[in-house]
Structure 1
Amino acid sequence: MENETRPMPATSNDALYRFLGGSPLAVAFRLILLSILVGVVLAAIGFDPWNILRSIELLFRRIWDLGFDAVNWLWRYFLLGAVIVIPLWLLMRLFGGSPRGR
């Protein structure tokens, strides 16, 4: 087996990149942007970052008080999101947004 190739041991830098999913600076930037986006969505729902448990309790209480209107409310938000998410997912699957055969 004269042409046998051996994998090189991973350096600590390669292990860090593999663990984080990219360079640390790029990952930090993506996490910051995602945190801001999630923060905006949670603020729209009515969450308060300084009293998160009270905000969650208030959210569930409002949903409970809505009764069956909550089902209608959730269905409308589902449809609104699905109008964007489903076509984008389908396009990504059709045009190579994910690896094939795995």
Structure 2
Amino acid sequence: MANRTLARFLGDSPGRVILKLLFLSFVVGVLMSALDLDPLDLVDGLVSFIERLWNMGFEALGQFGRYLLLGAVVVIPVWIVLRLLNMGRRD
């Protein structure tokens, strides 16, 4: 029962999955070697990408806040004036 559950989770028998993964790992290893790629360089590149994305995200939030403040300097006083004018009409 547990073996069938494991096979269903893996998509095939555990032995076949291991053989497929070993073969695929070998092929990818050969390709990476031919392209002169190092796994640690890939990890470093991924970490660098995430750091840049993180920094850009906070920079974008700061820019958004700046635009929001700039617009509010105009919109809020206009809104207050319009509300005061509308209160005068109702009375």
Same-fold status (TM-score > 0.5) = no
Q: Which has the higher helix share?
A: 2
TM-score after normalising by structure 2: 0.42
TM-score after normalising by structure 1: 0.38
Larger radius of gyration: 2
